[in-house]
Amino acid sequence: MIYIIRPTCGDQTHRSPDAWAFTQPIAFRQAGEIKAAFGREAGDRRRAARRDRAEIRREWLLQIGCDGLIALSGGHQGDVGEALLNGNFALATERALAWADFFPGAFYLEVQRYGQPQQEYLVNQTADLAGETGLPLVATHPVQFMRRDDFQAHEARVCIAEGEILGNQRRIRKFTRDQYFKSSAEMAA
């Protein structure tokens, strides 16, 4: 069984020098239950953190341990992808190797294809980084709704939540029609 560790509040990726955003990279627990200590420690720390973000600090990972966790780089939202998008391959390498040190044999560079700008550039750069560092590459998909036809309803919910108007041509569109739950065949295509 696989568990996803997710924050209970916020998804901001602003990081202090000694912390990582809680949502990126995502950490998974391999077979078994999430350590009670990890959950309790993360919950205590989230309550102590700022309300607009949740984070895991490096010292917490050192204190609690990362045994049995798998971490993904977070694609374009993670610090590795951020460095690649800024054209800083050396910094991306440094960050990826730092994550790999925290999660020995269990850190994966994450790529996604769902119709966002600069996506192919990032996929190619991440694949190059995987080749250079020997880190494994994994393809994931950021699902936001179940079926392709649910896109318009999802956009309406986003507009309601953000106080936007669906017909506003200038509003920022964070999601694409491709962010539905794809079959294995669709993911492999």
């192919």: which residue's tokens? 120
pTM for the full model? 0.68
Strand partners for 138: 110
pLDDT tens string 138-151:
988 888 889 999 99
Query: Residue 176 and residue 106: Cα distance in Å, rounded?
Result: 30
The token pair at 116 is 């966002």
pLDDT tens string 80-114:
999 999 999 999 999 999 999 988 888 999 998 88
Q: What is the pLDDT of residue 54?
A: 53
pLDDT tier at 55, thresholds 50, 70, 90: low
Q: What is the pLDDT of residue 65?
A: 76
Mean pLDDT (whole number) for 63-80? 83
